[in-house]
Amino acid sequence: MSDEKKPTPQPSVTPSPSVKAPASPAQPAKPAIAKTSAISRRAFVVGALGASTLLAVAAFAPPSLPSWNILNPLPPTKEGPTLVTSWNTLDTKYKNAVSAGNLYSPSDYSEFFYFPYPVTASPYYKNVITRLPDPLVNPLVSSSDPNYSILSKVAAWNLTCVHLRCIVNPGYAGNPGSGEFRLQCPCHGSQYRLTDAVPVAGPAFDLGLLPLPRVKLSYDSATGNITATDLDGTAGVGRTD
């Protein structure tokens, strides 16, 4: 007898003719995922995170970084009285606008300035000074002021809208024929009377909000210079007088 092991015969498995192996259905070709879109999403997320980090840092940046100061939550350091312009400058611009028939473009005869904060401060502290169109006068200037004849013809307001703090357009929303001139906010249409900055239309009026803060002025008759000396009210809140 041979020791050689014989291989164990394996039963042959033949598929039953009645049981068919399921034919694998043709898989629809999966659309190739555009790699560029995944990269775009990632880039977007990374960019958004980076931007929010920058904003968070900028919000607490020291005032020594003027270009970031727009996000500073605290008012910057106040400056003292500021020379704004001269009566002659305002009056000449006004008269040129009148002769050009352009009374509704106050940029022809207005000045925009920052007071009482430096020009590097947030635009929320930006103010406008204008020579009022004749025969309008500023009702907030006392008739007993020795320079009434000049200062009553000048108005200076903070430009931060008391509704939701957009910057009021220093261009007028004039009402031709009515003799009334207004400052208008570009965001929701609040309008402020030019002579006293009281809201007369739009949400600032509907909600009974306060007039724009007033820049108090002094006039030097020797030089003709007009200086901003104080701010009556709070930017974005208004004044109470």
Contact residues toward ligand FES (CB under 6 A) are 161, 163-164, 166, 185, 187-190, 202-204
Q: How far apart are CB 199 and ligand FES at their closest, in Å? A: 9
Residue from 209, 188, 187 nearest 198 by CA: 209
Q: How far apart are CB 213 and ligand FES at their closest, in Å? A: 14
Tell me how far apart the 2 most distant CA atoms of the chain are, in Å. Answer: 142
Q: Which is nearer to ligand FES, 161 or 235 (CB)?
A: 161
Residue 225 contacts residue 219 (beta carbons within 8 Å):
yes
Q: How far apart are CB 201 and ligand FES at their closest, in Å? A: 10
Cα–Cα distance measured from residue 159 to residue 122, given in angstroms and rounded to the nearest whole number: 12
Q: Which is nearer to ligand FES, 84 or 197 (CB)?
A: 197
Q: How far apart are CB 168 and ligand FES at their closest, in Å? A: 7
Q: How far apart are CB 184 and ligand FES at their closest, in Å? A: 9
Q: Which is nearer to ligand FES, 163 or 239 (CB)?
A: 163
Q: Which is nearer to ligand FES, 57 or 164 (CB)?
A: 164
Residue from 216, 28, 210 nearest 138 by CA: 216
Residue 164 contacts residue 190 (beta carbons within 8 Å):
no
Parallel, antiparallel or unpaired: strands 191-193 and 182-184: antiparallel
Cα–Cα distance measured from residue 17 to residue 36, given in angstroms and rounded to the nearest whole number: 50
At which residue do the structure tokens 């629809």 appear?
28
Task: Give 199: exposed, middle or buried? Use CB within 10 Å, 0-12, 13-18, 19+.
Answer: buried
Q: Which is nearer to ligand FES, 166 or 237 (CB)?
A: 166
